[in-house]
Amino acid sequence: MLIFDNLSLIFIGLILLGVIPNLFYMAGYLPHIQRKSYFLIHYFAFIFSMLGVVVANNTILFLFFWELMSLTSWKLILTDEKQKGVSKIARFYFFMTHFGFIFILMLFLILSNGNLESSNFALLKENASHFIYPFLLFAFVILGFLSKAGVVPMHVWLPYAHPKAPSPVSALMSGVMLKVALYGMIRFLFDVLYPWPLEWGITILILGAISSLVGVLYALSEHDIKALLANHSIENIGIILIGFGMGMIFDTLGLKTLSSFAFIAALFHIFNHMSFKSLLFMGAGSILHQTHTKNMEHYGGLIKSMPITAWTFLIASMSISALPPSNGFLSEWMIFQSLLNSSAVTIMELKLAIPFALFALALTGGLAIACFVKAYGITFLGLHRSENAQHAKEVNPLMQTGMVLMTLVVLSLMLFTPWFIGYFDLVVQDFNHTSVYDIIFSHGIWQIHSVSSNGGVVSPLILLGLLLFITTMLYGIGRIFKSKIRYHHSWACGYQTNASTQYSATGFAGPIRRFFAWLYGHDEKLKTITLSNKNKTTYDESFFEVHVEPLFESTLYKSVIKVTRLISYYIYRFSYFEQHQHYSGIIFSLLLFVLFSYRIFMGEFSWLSFIIELVMMSIVTKVLILGDKK
């Protein structure tokens, strides 16, 4: 029923590391939530469901906890359902999460031969070995689990759902829930579908490379701070998949040592992303709580009034930007080494896929730095850009405690890297892979080595020591040779220096937005509005308004929505007598789709059974409708 191997244990640890600081933050945030009982019930059920997913070894239990995780997160998004647009976005999230659930359910039905009650992962593996369409199972894993993780092109719900959820929930969804989805993928690939063909690893690698690039590019165009962070979740899930894809490729080629190193790098980045993304959402929630807006253009100068938030946000920004010696730098360095270790591969497909992934990862790293220079600079530095920012103050001690505790998690992943890698090494050993801990730390815990003969070496503690030494030295020199400080008003090309003369988030991202115009499909308009002052003198004020419509929404999803609406219209016309009949028809249509798809894939389909089951379904539907009418 339950499983507590090393993979489950490290994900239990990940959930607890993400939840414990969040509990403090949530306790400080709770007084500002209107429906407290509603929120707390779903909040703790959400945490319980994530723990249940990573320990379930029975198909019914796994599906139960997975669905509970989806429903509770959906209800948490609806906490403030009176807020504009929340209900619409919650429906969209509900649809996307159940889109993935359909494929997970079909995967379990096929592999369990319809016997969900007594099936575990060992039995699923035995059945998978006899299935004649293994690529179909892999496609279901991608559609089922990675749609929940936010991989392109199934990522569109993240920038909408995360900003609308309460900030403690945003931190849990992005920091923890997405990793539980990755756990499902890892568990199935290793425990059920192993070994893999080479094409599967290449697919994961390409999906990761595209996701990392798309995520960071759309993050750069965002001014909503929580939407910006949600897009960075897409980016970092892509980085994780690059490492995991390389591990699958090396495993298929029989390079077990390189494969273990790549899998460890991916697991390390899973933990790192949980830590710094949870901290960033906590910081964003604190800013939103004090300024009452998610628009970065209305922030500025918050480092003085919110110092704890500013410094914790800075540490997380350095980590997500992979600046040395942060934990984000260490895991991305290991993923880079995994890509560079493939130089001797001679297969043509890999000669095309791996350089593309390397290019995507390098470009992603540079754009992530630019994005967080914008996010941190516009938010915390400069002059106040609005009255709300001017009157902002630090959040309450409980929320500060949550941010400080999560900062300690971020720093511990950097300072105690050998300890964490030791546990990740145990996980890959459970999957019959080579232990590489002694190779990675062949010269002691002070240095991290690549496993290839011509690989690189990095020392996080030495880098940290050098950073502290240089900072202290520069500070000391400044104190010794300090000169008299003179204060002058800034010159702004003849204009009076104020908030409007500062660099804006729109202006900062402008060059990149124009360079990638084909991807953004952005619309820039110069708008003019007429204002009046205290003397009732009217004047015109002009400003740029930029709208970015994501490529996948404007092409793929709009077409799907049009077709779906057309089908729904005819279903409704078919059963318009009663609204309940409409809902019943849809529910049983889905059941029929899953049932008959399962029978076709298992080779058990017959027209006789199809007609009998269709008639029975019709009778059941009619009984329900008559019950509704009564």
Residues 34, 105: one domain?
yes
Q: What span, in angstroms and rounded, lies between the C-alpha atoms of 62 and 225?
A: 34
Instruction: Return the number of other C-beta atoms located less than 10 Å from residue 75's C-beta.
Output: 20
Range list of H helices, 292-346? 302-305, 307-320, 327-340
Q: Which amino acid is at 5?
A: D
Residues 514, 624: one domain?
no
User: Which residue shows structure tokens 């708008």?
Assistant: 527
User: Which residue shows structure tokens 């798309």?
Assistant: 214
Contacts of 596 (CB under 8 A, 6+ apart): 605, 610
Residues 547, 582: one domain?
no
Tell me the residue ranges of DSSP E strands in 196-306.
none
Q: What span, in angstroms and rounded, lies between the C-alpha atoms of 417 and 460?
A: 9
Residue 547 located in a structural domain: yes
Query: What is residue 132's DSSP assignment?
Result: S
Instruction: Look at residue 538 and give its three-state secondary structure.
Output: strand
Residue 155 located in a structural domain: yes
Q: Which residues face 540 on adjacent strands? A: 530
| Residue 388 · residue 291 · CB < 8 Å | yes
Residues 96, 128: one domain?
yes
Contacts of 262 (CB under 8 A, 6+ apart): 243, 244, 246, 247, 250, 335, 338
Residues 584, 524: one domain?
no
**DSSP annotation string for 242-263:** HHHHHHHHHHHTT-HHHHHHHH
Q: Is the peptide bond before 418 cis (omega within 30 degrees of 0)?
A: no
The series of mean pLDDT values per 10 residues for the chain, 630 residues long, is: 89 95 94 88 94 90 91 89 81 86 87 71 81 85 90 86 89 93 92 89 93 89 87 93 94 90 94 95 92 85 90 94 90 92 80 90 91 90 82 91 95 92 92 88 85 80 86 83 63 58 69 71 60 59 62 70 70 54 58 62 54 58 48
Cα 431 to Cα 14, 338, 426, distances in angstroms: 20, 19, 9
Residue 299 located in a structural domain: no
Q: At what angle do helices 397-415 and 6-29 cross, to 10 degrees?
A: 150
Instruction: Look at residue 298 and give its three-state secondary structure.
Output: helix
Residue 494 located in a structural domain: no
Residues 527, 619: one domain?
no
Residue 47 located in a structural domain: yes
Residues 541, 609: one domain?
no
Q: Quick one: tokens of 163?
A: 């900003």
Q: What span, in angstroms and rounded, lies between the C-alpha atoms of 125 and 108?
A: 11
User: Which residue shows structure tokens 């293994």?
Assistant: 134
Residue 354: half-sphere exposure toward Cβ, Cα within 13 Å: 26
Residues 40, 139: one domain?
yes
User: Which residue shows structure tokens 């960071």?
Assistant: 216
Identify the domain boundary among 194, 227, 244.
194
Contacts of 543 (CB under 8 A, 6+ apart): 526, 527, 529
Q: What span, in angstroms and rounded, lies between the C-alpha atoms of 73 and 46?
A: 6
| Residue 175 · residue 271 · CB < 8 Å | no
Whole-prediction pTM = 0.85
Rg (CA), the chain: 26
Identify the domain boundary among 161, 194, 227.
194
Question: Domain of 60?
Answer: 1-194
Instruction: Return the number of other C-beta atoms located less than 10 Å from residue 43's C-beta.
Output: 24
Q: Which residues face 230 on adjacent strands? A: none
Contacts of 304 (CB under 8 A, 6+ apart): none
Instruction: Look at residue 532 and give its three-state secondary structure.
Output: strand
Identify the domain boundary among 168, 194, 220.
194
**DSSP annotation string for 18-78:** HHHHHHHHHHHHGGG-S-HHHHHHHHHHHHHHHHHHHHB-SHHHHHHHHHHHHHHHHHHHG
Instruction: Look at residue 541 and give its three-state secondary structure.
Output: strand
Residue 289 located in a structural domain: no
Residues 136, 45: one domain?
yes
Q: What span, in angstroms and rounded, lies between the C-alpha atoms of 104 and 143?
A: 8
| Residue 35 · residue 79 · CB < 8 Å | yes
Q: Give the chain's domain count.
A: 3
- Of the candidates 97, 263, 86, 63, the one whose C-alpha atom is nearest the C-alpha of residue 177 is 97
| Residue 542 · residue 528 · CB < 8 Å | yes
Residues 581, 534: one domain?
no
Question: pLDDT value at position 627?
Answer: 47
Residues 545, 580: one domain?
no
Q: Which residues face 527 on adjacent strands? A: 543
Q: What span, in angstroms and rounded, lies between the C-alpha atoms of 292 and 298?
A: 10
Q: Quick one: tokens of 585?
A: 């028809």
Residue 596 located in a structural domain: yes
Q: What are phi and psi of 433, to 5 degrees?
A: -105, 165
Residue 398 located in a structural domain: no
Instruction: Look at residue 333 and give its three-state secondary structure.
Output: helix
Q: Quick one: tokens of 504?
A: 């804006």
Instruction: Return the number of other C-beta atoms located less than 10 Å from residue 626's C-beta.
Output: 10
Q: What are phi and psi of 532, to 5 degrees?
A: -135, 150
Residues 532, 586: one domain?
no
Q: Which amino acid is at 275?
A: S
114: left (phi over 0), alpha (psi -120 to 50) or beta: left
